[in-house]
Structure 1
Amino acid sequence: MTISANVQQGTWSVDVRTEAAPDGGFRATIHVAQGSPDGDFEHTFHHAKVFVTEREAVLEGLREGMTWIVLKSTKTIAV
């Protein structure tokens, strides 16, 4: 079973999808997108950790994606 989730507001969005990890457990693939006058930003990456349950994977994926949006919005990081 695959769980997916989406959070969005205004010009940004975070999409997360879980998948079974090769060695057991589940990992999250995270896609973040933000539109801004400085240019649109999109980035897709895997969460660094493998989780025991899909629920943990999708929740942590959303947290990680939201952290990226905050860092990008406050210009703490430039990618």
Structure 2
Amino acid sequence: MAMSGNVQDGAWSVNVQTEPAETGGYQSTIHVRHSSPEGDFEHTFRHGRKFNTERDAVLDGLREGTTWIGLKMARTIKM
């Protein structure tokens, strides 16, 4: 069973879905979205780590996604 999680606030959102990893454990796919006057930003990526539980994969994926949003809003990264 795949788990998912979502965090959003105003102009941004983070969505995470898990799937079983090929070598055991779980991986998460993270989708971030941020709207601003300069235009919409969307990015989907696979988390670089593997986790023993789906719960850990979702929670760390949400944490990673909100970090991306923070960097994007602070204009630390441009994509």
Q: TM-score range by the shorter chain?
A: over 0.9
Output the CA distance in 2 between the equivalents of 1:73 and 1:48: 22
Unpaired stretches in structure 2, ≥5 consecutive residues = none
Aligned to 2:6: 6
Alignment of structure 1 residues 41-52 onto 2, 5 Å = 41-52=41-52
SS at match of 2:68: helix
Q: Which runs of 4+ in 1 moved over 6 A?
A: none
Aligned to 1:22: 22
Percent identical: 61
Alpha-carbon RMSD: 0.4
**AA in 2 matched with 1:63:** R
SS at match of 2:43: strand
Output the CA distance in 1 between the equivalents of 2:77 and 2:44: 16
With the length of structure 2 as denominator, give the TM-score of the two structures: 0.98
Q: How many residues align?
A: 79
Aligned to 2:34: 34
SS at match of 1:72: helix
Q: Which has the higher strand share?
A: 2
Aligned to 2:70: 70
The question of 1:61 aligning with 2:69 is answered no
Unpaired stretches in structure 1, ≥5 consecutive residues = none
